[in-house]
Structure 1
Amino acid sequence: MVMTITTPAWARDVTRVAVLTGAGISTASGIPDYRGPDGVWTRDPGAAEAFTYDRFLADASVRARFWRTYHGHPAWDARPNAAHEALARLDRAGIAVRVLTQNIDGLHQLAGLAPRKVLELHGTMRTTRCVGCRARTPTEEVAARATATEPRCPTCGGILKLDTILFGENLDGQVLAQAASIAKASPLFLAVGSSLLVEPAASLCRVAVEHGARLVIVNRDATPYDDLATEVIRADVTEVVPTIVGWLTTP
């Protein structure tokens, strides 16, 4: 759709906003998405195997492939783009903002949002945890040892895994419950750069709508939740999100 100049009705008199963000908000920062036309799994469907929890635990070669994926990954050098920065600016303007992100890159925090205002639904790549003793280590320290083979826990020798949710793992129940509470309490719910194909994160859109929220979806492609939306915007998120923030902060 073509962006309007005047503030739409759904953006007026808003004091609280929940924002669900997906891979599409970080592609402009140089981080490839997974399911897009040039996505990681579109180009190499077999790569998804390394992101399956059971296979990860059972097969050392899968773990080695997983770690090779993150050795020199673009996310380590990525910087927040205009969309991340706009959401941080919205928070500084006094709007109550909570970001529920499916991303693991930490760019919302780097843009200036306080960690307590960002719920990382699928975890973070910034730290690594031993599946045995549960010791946590900064991932950059681990990744330096992950070249030809998988790294191992220096404390107990156990398997190391990013603090992220792999396929076959359950989301943290407390994090998901907190996200649902935020969705229920937010009169405006933005879904930005997400295919809304991965559950249960995507279902937060329905939770929000069922509790009276106006749902606005900003995504390049159609999503399963478009029919629930007050408005669907198909345009570059780095242009759309700053525009929406402008609407929300205009008296």
Structure 2
Amino acid sequence: MEEQGAPHLVVLTGAGISAESGIRTFRASDGLWEEHSIEAVATPEGFARDPERVLRFYDERREQVRRAAPNAAHRALAELERAGIRVSIITQNIDDLHERAGSRDVLHLHGEILMARSSVDDALRYPLSSGGIRLGDVCDKGSQLRPDVVWFGESVPRYGDACDIVAEADMLLVVGTSLAVMPAALLLEQAPLEAQAVLVDPEANDLAPPGVGRMALSAGQGVPRLVKYWRATGRLELPNDLLSL
């Protein structure tokens, strides 16, 4: 159980942590996501042109998420929370792997694929415990349902909440993301000056901003090592030599 006044770890996660569970993401270099163009399946314009194609695409992604399982990184973060550390997760991912691993405080910046929402009222959201969304499925206001996913060109409604969480961090752990996507790229700037930060990513040596610790390892390798260290010491701090973990 989390103790009152427990140190606060804020974790920023991206595609790299989910990729280790077999969830593919689009490749920014060629603009494709599962061999579909981003413009066709991940923009409001694409949905307006061919809603049936977009709904079918997300139904397929949804089944991929349901088949996937949390990996060692997801599980380690949940274990740290159970050990009494306050852990807040801000994820760019639309899957539910953090929750299934046992994490309780998860903010999805870009929405949740296992939810549907109204096309006219963002507040009308509906869980998809099974199946998907079909053309003709409507919200309580009679409007077509769409995936509860923030598409390219849309605002990120929970960005302000994410900034507030980062502003209370004692330690920042960035996993599997370059934080190159706006506005998430600005989140690190919201952290207190005294808060340490570390990036776990195979490309960490090239991606980490100045002043951020680097662990050039996969999420499944690096996160459990950090969690083991923090549980052993009982303190949220970085060792002098990250490579010694």
Q: Equivalent of 2:143, from 146, 158, 178?
A: 158
* Structure 2: runs of 5+ lacking an equivalent: 1-5, 234-245
Partner of 2:46: 55
Unaligned runs of 5+ in 1: 1-13
Choose the corresponding residue for 1:127, options 106, 110, 115: 115
Q: CA separation of 1:78/1:36 partners in 2, compared to 1, >3 Å: closer, same or farther?
A: farther
After superposition, the Cα gap between the structure-2 partners of 1:135 and 1:17, relative to the gap in structure 1 and judged at 3 Å, is: closer
The TM-score normalised by the length of structure 2 is 0.81
Give the letter for the 2:54 counterpart: F
1:52-106: CA deviations, max 9, x gaps? 12332x31x2x22222222233112211111000000010111111001111101
What's 1:236 paired with? Answer: 218
Identity within the alignment, %: 34
Residues 66 and 220 (structure 1 numbering): CA distance in 2 closer, same or farther, change over 3 Å?
A: farther
**1:191, 1:218 within 8 Å by CA — same for their partners in 2?**
yes
What secondary structure, in the 3-state scheme, does the structure 2 residue paired with 1:195 have? coil
Q: Are 2:179 and 1:193 equivalent residues in the alignment? A: no
How far apart, CA to CA, are the structure 1 residues paired with 2:79 and 2:115?
A: 26
Q: 1:181 to 1:49 in 2, by over 3 A?
A: same
For 1:136, the equivalent position in structure 2 comes to 125
Q: How do residues 171-190 of structure 1 correspond to structure 2 at under 5 angstroms?
A: 171-172=156-157, 175-190=158-173
Cα deviation 1:22-80 (Å, max 9, x = unaligned): 0110111111122278x982663624432112332x31x2x222222222331122111
SS at match of 1:250: helix
Q: 1:3-82 counterparts in 2 under 5 A?
A: 15-35=7-27, 41=32, 44=35, 46-56=37-47, 58-59=48-49, 61=50, 63-73=51-61, 74-82=64-72
Aligned-CA RMSD value: 2.6
The offset of 1:159, in angstroms, is 2.3
SS at match of 1:228: coil
Q: CA deviation at 1:212?
A: 2.7
In the aligned structure 1, how far is the partner of 2:56 from the partner of 2:203?
30
Provide the C-alpha distance between the structure 2 equivalents of 1:29 and 1:195, rounded to a whole number of angstroms.
Answer: 19
- Does 2:97 align with 1:107? yes
SS at match of 1:88: helix
Q: Answer whether contact 2:88 2:165 (CA < 8 A) is retained.
A: yes
Query: Which whole-Å CA distance do the structure 1 matches of 2:27 and 2:79 have between them?
Result: 29
Q: Which amino acid aligns with 1:201?
A: A
- The residue that corresponds to 1:213 in the other structure is 195
Would you say the 8 A contact 1:54–1:168 is kept in 2? no
Partner-residue secondary structure (3-state), 1:189:
strand
Deviations 1:206-250 (A, max 9, x none): 222x63321211123359862234312221110110001011111
AA matched with 1:65: R
